[in-house]
Amino acid sequence: MDIDVASIVAGYSQGYFLMAGDDDKLDWYSSNQRTLIPLDERFRYPKSLQRVLNQERFSVAIDRDFPAVCQGCAARDHTWISDELMEIYLALNQAGWAHSFETWQGDRLAGGILGITIKGAFIGESMFFNITEGSKVAMVKLVEHLRNKQYVLFDAQLQNPHLERFGSYIISFGEYKRLLHKAIERDVFLN
């Protein structure tokens, strides 16, 4: 498959995202609302997770095993990550646009978040866990990392009850596009 990385990055830069439908056909999608993970004091997490963080059971890494994070995110009964989209993520990773923010317990991948970075925007595509609390710790540590790197935007695309526990909130697509434009003007890098 011939993957046009520049066109894909351009699509994400305009506020669209790729997703496979029920027929596994890949297409561009958008929404009149977008869900963001706050990078300020609105970010929160369950108190029980603080105990896990204090125990330091997990270490974090970026792109230590990007393919395994992609596979973990796709390994569910209903997934929008088709084989074609998996190949695109791998190509984006090779080109420096897609990344995995991972938690590890020793040599075992505990969980991770798959995302696309365009300057000051982190566009979260999916997350998964192999070990309980692995993806939640990844979320907390990723937000800390994005704050330290002065990212403008952590896009979670679509709202769900799990993300609400972290303070996620919904904005209009117009507001999202303004924030995305501001983020793309900022020269920051995940690594």
Q: Which two tokens stand for residue 28?
A: 């561009």
pLDDT digits (tens, 9 = 90+) for 93-116: 999 999 999 999 999 999 999 999
Question: Domain for residue 191, yes or no?
Answer: no
Q: Which phi and psi (to 5°) does residue 161 adopt?
A: -60, -35
Say if residues 118 and 97 touch (Cβ distance below 8 Å). yes
Distance CA 70, CA 50 (A): 27
Total of domains in the chain: 1
Is residue 22 predicted with pLDDT exceeding 90? no
Name the nearest CA neighbour of 190 among 56, 37, 34, 61.
61
Question: Domain for residue 190, yes or no?
Answer: no
Say if residues 123 and 155 touch (Cβ distance below 8 Å). yes
Residue 33's pLDDT band, with cuts at 50, 70 and 90, is very high
Taking CA 69 as the corner, what is the angle to CA 93 and CA 117, rounded to the nearest 5 degrees? 40
Q: Is 126 helix (H, G, I), strand (E, B) or coil?
A: strand
User: For residue 16, which amino acid is it?
Assistant: Y
Percent of the chain whose predicted confidence (pLDDT) is above 90? 77
Question: Domain for residue 177, yes or no?
Answer: yes
Q: Is 31 helix (H, G, I), strand (E, B) or coil?
A: coil
Residue 23's Cα: distance from chain center in Å?
24
Q: What pLDDT is recorded for position 190?
A: 75
Predicted TM-score (pTM) of this structure: 0.94
Say which CATH number the domain at 65 has. 3.40.630.70
Domain encompassing residue 170: 5-184
Question: Domain for residue 105, yes or no?
Answer: yes
Question: Domain for residue 151, yes or no?
Answer: yes
Q: What pLDDT is recorded for position 1?
A: 67
Question: Domain for residue 189, yes or no?
Answer: no
pLDDT digits (tens, 9 = 90+) for 148-172: 999 999 999 888 888 899 999 999 9
Q: What pLDDT is recorded for position 133?
A: 94
